[in-house]
Amino acid sequence: KRQKALASLLKICDALEKYNNISSLCAIRAGLCSAPIHRLRKTWDAIPKKAKETKAKIDELFKLGNGQKNLRDRVAIISQPAIPHLGIFLGDIVFIHDGNDTYKKEDYEDENGNVSQIEKINWVKMKLLADRINWISMFQQSPFIFTSVPIIHQYLESKMKILPEDFLYKLSREVEPPEKKKTMTK
């Protein structure tokens, strides 16, 4: 039953990737990578080959390091409609804001030859911020064309429950107890 649930979630991940819904793909991947799920070695080993390939593909997409190059490359060529990973956008905004002064000091010489410094707006920073805001705004221009199915919404909402992480971890240990560590004897 656990293998079937994981395989179903990975099938959803595959569909999300095809529909360019990178944000939801990231959310499901985060759940699959949570400690209670990630530690289920026997369950992961038993999922079908196609599900394993999907997992490897999304792990590669969200691989950290090198500025999340794989994810950035994917989002750079994404076609509309799409929902990008908001974390990249927010990270870029913080990086631009923290890494660049809002004002630049420049020397100013008045008609008497006196030199003083004045503050001017750092237009390079403002252009970088505007570019990122325009980029995220672009995704609001092309909506997805899906029909809402109320019965499906009701079903999903009735099944969704927020469970504490410690409860999930205990449950995970019950269904797949940790392996005993082998001790060396003399």
**Model confidence pLDDT, tens digit, residues 49-80:** 999 999 999 999 999 989 899 999 999 899 88
In which residue are the tokens 């992480």 written? 165
Q: What is the pTM of this model?
A: 0.81
pLDDT digits (tens, 9 = 90+) for 109-152: 888 888 889 999 999 999 999 999 999 999 989 888 889 999 99
Residues 17-31, mean pLDDT to the nearest whole number: 95
Kindly give, in sequence order, each residue whose CB lies less than 8 Å from that of residue 124, ignoring residues fewer than 6 positions away.
100
Which of 153, 152, 172 has the alpha carbon at shortest distance from 32? 172
Q: Measured between alpha carbons, how far is 82 from 144 in angstroms, rounded to an integer?
A: 8
* Exposure b/e, 62-81, CB count within 10 A at least 16 = b: beeeeebebbeebbeeeeeb
Q: Are 21 and 78 in contact (CB under 8 A)?
A: no
